[in-house]
Chain A
């Protein structure tokens, strides 16, 4: 088993939370994990990505090689496109549709969706609406994790356990909201 996953978005969207939950789940299964993150200056509204590699064998590089990612999981459509050089020819893009577009030169939503569609196998998710349905607009990242669940090589039960562990300190309500968000996402790709 070996999965190379790029998680992308904008600083503050909860990218490192998704990565941490997958990490926990992978460790629960006894898998090897390497997960490179972005800290520092880029977090001030910049593009943020995490390279997440999980494997039953030893992992050498902390960075995913160009053209090797099995999945780009993005919380923002243009950020999905930014990571394209890492995607394998057989790889999949799963991205939230809501743009974080308050920057100079942000493309039109139509152009973005056309470009993403042109890459091949892809899935667009209205994570914002589903997160509100789950009870908190902040849980978009968990909706996206749910949508990506079948492609991670980790069972949903293990992921749900990791979500529960991760949010335990914040109380039962927050655990429940995030689990709901995860399940709403997971229904899309079941």
Chain B
């Protein structure tokens, strides 16, 4: 097959297409978005077709993928790490039902929080659900492990998690694809007791899941993706996923005699790890994310041979890098060489010290963006009130928290603007105002609005509708053109569903409308509709 230069995310996508998926189900989120986008482009017009339309949120995506699996076909479901919090109910219970057609969940974690509100490590979820986790080290493995994951999923009748991180997702390398597989035939599962999680069935299923654990461990022991890279030194490295690359970069550059055990498949191959670690006096545990395995290996046993994020050999937080591994491994090898770290021309780049002339360049709302005119209108409408609290949400408009607007008071999780404003209104805060984007509103805002309607909470919701999921690059938004109907359907009084167009020329009128609704002692919605300037540019091209 012809070699391709692919992002890690694209390698996953190509791997899924070539593994014969019937559909991909996903909600956009950095760094996972490119997987679904690639599948959309690459399978357009394919026969048989591959489903690839965006889902409303990660939970609906996961459940639809589970339905494909029930029908005997292969489905891929993709999300960013915090998306799995939204899909967690479906995810945990899919481990109890098990699967029929192969189901691979790709979760893209974001250590260092390049574009996220936390750096949670999805491997905890995989361990929690007691399913296999695959963690590729490079783009070729990402490609191959998707097919391997589908085979494993069907063999073990369990969902399989493929965990990648920002760096792998957004880095390109040459990938050699394999011969593509055909899609599975439609073959719905008739074993009802497996799928009906009434307590009596669920107890049996849970035992079946527990009984599979030894077999899963055995597959890890024999996995082609877990292997030793030899060396004869006294100290060794246990490296997981992409951390292998940083360790090997240091070992090969400095010619260090450090043995390395590479792990890319979980549950942990316990025998392999025991045999490997027994030989060494010190073992560096290099893993991207939380010190999950390190904590397990240390346990309560007082085994002090392990080095890593917990004892400060590596930082407790943030993404790994070649420099961090170099510092740890050169200390290990007791080598006095001049390091890259010391060669650099600034005081301490690891602490983010750059040349003193360099000013920070924080992300900004684009010139001409509708959110800008909206935030100015909100600020001026709120001027009359002593308490200036505006509950915000996840999207481009979170940047309204930064100067010059400084409008937004909170940003926690998808949909939290409406529900936090509702709680604050219940607690007596006036006015209770929140701003939510169109895609975030359909993702997780509608149920919160229903709560507010049922409680008659005095609350004003501004839906900043730019017609797209802008932050992640302009994916289709689930409710475009239907926000009035949705809000009316949820029960908001029609007289208090207002529409504005956030443009400079409408500023005074918009301020008046916002003020009127802030004064209303009930649930009101203001739909602020103006297309994202990037989408507009693309359309005009």
Binding site for B on A (CB under 8 A): 10, 23-24, 27, 32-47, 51, 59-68, 78-79, 81-82, 84-89, 103-107, 111-112, 115, 119
Report how far A34 CA is from B349 CA in the complex, Å.
23
Check if B346 sits within 8 Å of A65, measured CB to CB.
no
Check if B361 sits within 8 Å of A61, measured CB to CB.
no
Partner of A66, one of B172, B248, B323: B323
Check if A85 sits within 8 Å of B345, measured CB to CB.
yes
Number of residues in B with C-beta < 8 Å to the partner?
A: 54
Check if A78 sits within 8 Å of B359, measured CB to CB.
yes
A36-B171, A61-B322, A66-B322 given; A84·B345 CB < 8 A: yes
Partner of A104, one of B167, B173, B359, B471: B359
Report how far A116 CA is from B364 CA in the complex, Å.
27
Interface check B224, CB cutoff 8 A: no
Report how far A38 CA is from B166 CA in the complex, Å.
9
Partner of B346, one of A39, A51, A59, A84: A84
Partner of B365, one of A34, A44, A61, A112: A44
| CB 8 Å contact bits of B320-363 with A (1 = contact, 0 = none) | 01110010000000000000110111100110011101111111
- Within the complex, the shortest CB–CB distance from B440 to chain A, in Å, comes to 15
Check if A45 sits within 8 Å of B364, measured CB to CB.
yes
Check if B396 sits within 8 Å of A44, measured CB to CB.
yes
Partner of A40, one of B114, B173, B248, B353: B114
A34-B171, A42-B115, A78-B358 given; A67·B341 CB < 8 A: yes
CB < 8 Å A-B pair total: 155
Check if A65 sits within 8 Å of B174, measured CB to CB.
no
Residue in chain A with minimal CB distance to B340: A67
Residues of A within 8 A of B115 (CB): 39-42
Check if A119 sits within 8 Å of B358, measured CB to CB.
no
- Within the complex, the shortest CB–CB distance from B219 to chain A, in Å, comes to 27
Check if B171 sits within 8 Å of A85, measured CB to CB.
no
Residue in chain A with minimal CB distance to B115: A40
Within 8 A of A (CB), among B132-171: 167-168, 170-171
Check if B359 sits within 8 Å of A106, measured CB to CB.
yes
Check if A107 sits within 8 Å of B170, measured CB to CB.
no
- Within the complex, the shortest CB–CB distance from B456 to chain A, in Å, comes to 37
Check if B363 sits within 8 Å of A44, measured CB to CB.
yes
- Within the complex, the shortest CB–CB distance from A179 to chain B, in Å, comes to 22
Check if A119 sits within 8 Å of B345, measured CB to CB.
yes
Within 8 A of A (CB), among B468-505: 471-473
Check if B355 sits within 8 Å of A40, measured CB to CB.
no
Residues of B within 8 A of A33 (CB): 5, 172-174
Q: Which 8 A-B pairs have the closest CB atoms?
A: A40-B115, A85-B349, A40-B30, A105-B359, A65-B322, A67-B343, A44-B363, A62-B171
Check if A36 sits within 8 Å of B30, measured CB to CB.
no
- 8 intermolecular pairs with C-beta atoms under 8 Å apart: A34-B173, A40-B30, A44-B399, A45-B361, A66-B343, A85-B344, A105-B359, A115-B355
Within 8 A of A (CB), among B345-396: 345-346, 349-350, 353-355, 357-366, 396
Check if A27 sits within 8 Å of B340, measured CB to CB.
no
Residues of B within 8 A of A61 (CB): 245-246, 248-249, 322
Partner of B358, one of A41, A82, A88: A82
A35-B171, A85-B349 given; A107·B359 CB < 8 A: yes
A61-B249, A66-B349, A85-B349 given; A37·B170 CB < 8 A: yes
Residues of B within 8 A of A62 (CB): 167-168, 171, 173, 242, 245
Report how far A171 CA is from B249 CA in the complex, Å.
42
Interface check B252, CB cutoff 8 A: yes
Check if B5 sits within 8 Å of A27, measured CB to CB.
yes
- Within the complex, the shortest CB–CB distance from A106 to chain B, in Å, comes to 6
Check if A46 sits within 8 Å of B322, measured CB to CB.
no
Check if B363 sits within 8 Å of A88, measured CB to CB.
no
Report how far A119 CA is from B346 CA in the complex, Å.
11
Within 8 A of A (CB), among B1-39: 3, 5, 7, 30-31, 33-34
Residues of A within 8 A of B31 (CB): 39-40
| Among B33, B171, B365, residue most surrounded by chain A Cβ atoms (within 10 Å) | B171
Partner of A89, one of B172, B343, B358, B473: B343
- Within the complex, the shortest CB–CB distance from A2 to chain B, in Å, comes to 11
Within 8 A of A (CB), among B91-144: 114-115
Residues of A within 8 A of B362 (CB): 46
A60-B245, A87-B345 given; A39·B170 CB < 8 A: yes
A41-B30, A44-B399, A63-B321 given; A81·B366 CB < 8 A: no
Report how far A32 CA is from B349 CA in the complex, Å.
28
Check if B172 sits within 8 Å of A111, measured CB to CB.
no
Check if B358 sits within 8 Å of A44, measured CB to CB.
no
A41-B115, A45-B363, A62-B168 given; A82·B343 CB < 8 A: no
Check if A41 sits within 8 Å of B357, measured CB to CB.
no
| CB 8 Å contact bits of B286-326 with A (1 = contact, 0 = none) | 00000000000000000000000000000000000111001
